Structure 1
Amino acid sequence: MASSRPPSPTSRTESPFGLGYFSVPFERFAREESDWAGAFTLLDTMETFFDSHIDLFQRTLQKQLQKHSDRLKLKAEEALKLRELSGDALVENMEREVKNFKLKVSTRMTVLAASWQSAKVVRTREKLSFFFGVMTLLFSALMFGTDPQWIHVAYTVLGLYLLPLRAYTYKKRAWHYFLFDLCYYVTILNFIFLWVFPSSPTLFIACYCLSHGSLASAVITWRNSLVFHDSDKVTSLFVHIYAPFTFTTIRHFYPDAETRFPALREVPHLNPGKALLLSGVIYVIWQTLYWKFVLIDRRAKIRSGQRTTSFSFLLNDKRGVIGRSLSSVPEAYRELAFMAGQLVYAILTELPAVFLLYKSPFWSGVFLIAIFAVSVWNGGGFYIEVFGRKFEREMEALRKELAEASARSSGQSSPAGMDTPRTKSTDDLSDGVSPLMISTPLPMDSQDSFSSLDTTEAKKDQ
């Protein structure tokens, strides 16, 4: 362009104004005196204006490009560092992160478990269980006296609440193989009859006989206890006693039962042979499934002690009649002997229902009261004996603590160089410490919830 060409030296000397006051374009205008000079001067001014703005825009763009470049370079460096951690270093880093995560989860679970097992939570849980058990008993009695047609509904609702809770707690304790026992199998059959096939006489006969046979007698065999504060014992008692209670109500006390359960029209009387045969077939089906899926497919876990079944529990119970009897049988035939014994036991316990209970409301009521009385007696024994032994241990520990404290205080108070007077023995102290023990509060663990009892005693009475 013309404005970018430098002026000649002669023009600099001939200019009257000099370069210190005017720009080069203005010198050219004064020298040439042309009409086009104004236009060139405007063009030069516009070029200078746009050149400055373009330069500013370029610098701004360069800064942004530099920032973006720095950002990309940083990401590249991070990617390079990550690539450098490949192989064993990367695996080690990942393992460390996984371990840290597992540690955090384990710590959190430990805190939650400690909170769940804290004294306050346990006491609240047991109070709720006690309230639930007492109110269930009260409402069951009221429904039986006023609206017996609701008994099977209450049976279903309680089962839908208690049985999933039992499955969860047993799974957590690795006792879930007990859920394959006959009582849960019969409970499921009862629900199927009540809500799916109420017109099936075959299913009704099997459910009635098994509920009054194996389930009801298990209150005696397994020492079910009416212990309201223990939800596990309440669930066991519900499974074994509410089924015969429900079917007794349907058979003898349900108003117009044939309308709701049409199967009763076809079974006005029980044929003993047919009833025992049908219930026996249902039992054999369960026993076959149990033998295949538990005793065969899970044999390794059971033998290793990872899982416990009713068979292994009774076999290891050397104080019980069943455990002593099975111990005398060769190991290769113990399972067969146990299953055959269970079949005989099931048939024998169904005889009262087949020959007496089905046709007599009076003896059905006596039977239920007798079974319930056994559970109440077991519950009373649990409260008296277990709590009594617990209280005795606390008292003995308190006597020893008081005796040691008395001995220490006597030794510290005796003057130097003199014989220490004889301290009272533990027996002597126990004879004269009754007022002190009465006024002294028990340790916190004795004031704690009922779940602090011996686990062995609780398991034995379960």
Structure 2
Amino acid sequence: MPPTALHCIVHLTPVKMLQERFPAVYAIKFSNPEDPEHYSLGDMMIWATVPYIVWQLLYHFMISVRRADKIAAGRPTSFTWMRKSYSKAWIGRFVLSLPESLQEPFFMLIQYSYALSTMIPCPIWFWYRTASGVFITALFVWSIHNGATYYIDVFGKRFQKEMEQLKRDVARWQSSPEATTSPLILPENTPSIEPRKVPSQPGKPSSIDRIPPLDAGEASSSGVNTGQSGEPVARERNEKN
């Protein structure tokens, strides 16, 4: 958003409104290089360095010095995170190769150098509208790419882990001896269905013996009835015209 705000103020604001509401931008944009209100790249870097140094020193005093015991107990800071995350990168190996007393000052120096490197191309975005538009477009496309890959890398991998855990749970449940004796789970408010018991009589088969075979059910479902002699009897149809 800061590059977008800068582009709108510098390149899309009318000159009269720019002079009234943003006189500093108007002075830099329309003043001559020899005028005292004109700022060069060196002047901008100096004025940006002063608040940066104040912030960095206050951060070091408030966090690294006053809360050293909490950091030693495991609370992360930007410096400890850098040492852990970039320990295998060249910049991390370089910082870790230094004595421990010099590691944090070099880390702050690296941060300041990075800040200066991002300030150097800023006059290009300030003086040239097309270059500023190309820069903002590149940032917009980059943000879309980061957002899309975040959903794939984070949510996709998380869903994959959940599916793999579900497969392991199902496999463990199927291999458990309790799986064969677990009761049947019916939906709520489902009436229980009990098998009809036929009292056994002497000389007659029991209720279990009276269960028809599977092929008999298939024959019945196909529209063919079997008589007592075992021969198929055609089912009568009533067709209405």
Residues 342/362 of structure 1: CA separation in 2 closer, same or farther (3 Å cut):
same
With normalisation by structure 1, the TM-score equals: 0.34
Which of 296, 310, 317 is 2:65 aligned to?
296
What letter is aligned with 1:403? A
Rounded to whole Å, the distance in 1 between the matches of 2:104 and 2:179 is 64
Deviation for aligned residue 1:384? 0.5
Q: Tell me, yes or no, if structure 1 residue 394 matches structure 2 residue 155.
A: no
Q: Deviations over 1:344-372 (max 9, x none)?
A: 11111111113x11101111122122223
Percent identity between the two aligned chains: 34
Structure 2: where are the runs of 5+ without partners? Answer: 30-37, 182-241
> Between Structure 1 and Structure 2, which shows a larger proportion of helix residues?
1
1:311-326 correspondence runs (5 A): 311-317=79-85, 318=87, 322-326=91-95
Q: Deviations over 1:130-189 (max 9, x none)?
A: xxxxxxxxxxxxxxxxxxxxxxxxxxxxxxxxxxxxxxxxxxxxxxxxxxxxxxxxxxxx
Identify the residue that residue 374 of structure 1 maps to in structure 2: 142
Which of 55, 58, 62 is 1:286 aligned to?
55
Q: Deviations over 1:57-80 (max 9, x none)?
A: xxxxxxxxxxxxxxxxxxxxxxxx
Structure 1: where are the runs of 5+ without partners? Answer: 1-241, 414-462
Q: Which has the higher contact order (CA 8 A, sep 6+)?
A: 1
What letter is aligned with 1:261? F
Q: Deviations over 1:222-267 (max 9, x none)?
A: xxxxxxxxxxxxxxxxxxxx22222222111123222111112321
Identify the residue that residue 446 of structure 1 maps to in structure 2: none
Query: What secondary structure is seen at the aligned counterpart in 2 of 1:267?
Result: helix
Rounded to whole Å, the distance in 2 between the matches of 1:308 and 1:407 is 44
What letter is aligned with 1:301? K
Larger C-alpha radius of gyration, 1 or 2? 1
Moved over 4 A (4+): 319-322, 408-413
Identify the residue that residue 250 of structure 1 maps to in structure 2: 9
Query: What secondary structure is seen at the aligned counterpart in 1 of 2:76?
Result: coil
Deviation for aligned residue 1:411? 8.6
Rounded to whole Å, the distance in 2 between the matches of 1:406 and 1:393 is 20
Residues 374/409 of structure 1: CA separation in 2 closer, same or farther (3 Å cut):
same
Rounded to whole Å, the distance in 1 between the matches of 2:90 and 2:10 is 35
CA RMSD of aligned residues (A): 2.6
What letter is aligned with 1:258? Q
Identify the residue that residue 203 of structure 1 maps to in structure 2: none
Rounded to whole Å, the distance in 2 between the matches of 1:338 and 1:371 is 27
Does structure 2 retain, via aligned residues, the 8 Å contact 1:315–1:323?
Answer: yes
Residues 400/302 of structure 1: CA separation in 2 closer, same or farther (3 Å cut):
closer
Deviation for aligned residue 1:334? 0.9
Identify the residue that residue 27 of structure 2 maps to in structure 1: 266
Instruction: State the aligned residue count.
Output: 170
Identify the residue that residue 198 of structure 2 maps to in structure 1: none
With normalisation by structure 2, the TM-score equals: 0.61
Rounded to whole Å, the distance in 2 between the matches of 1:330 and 1:313 is 18
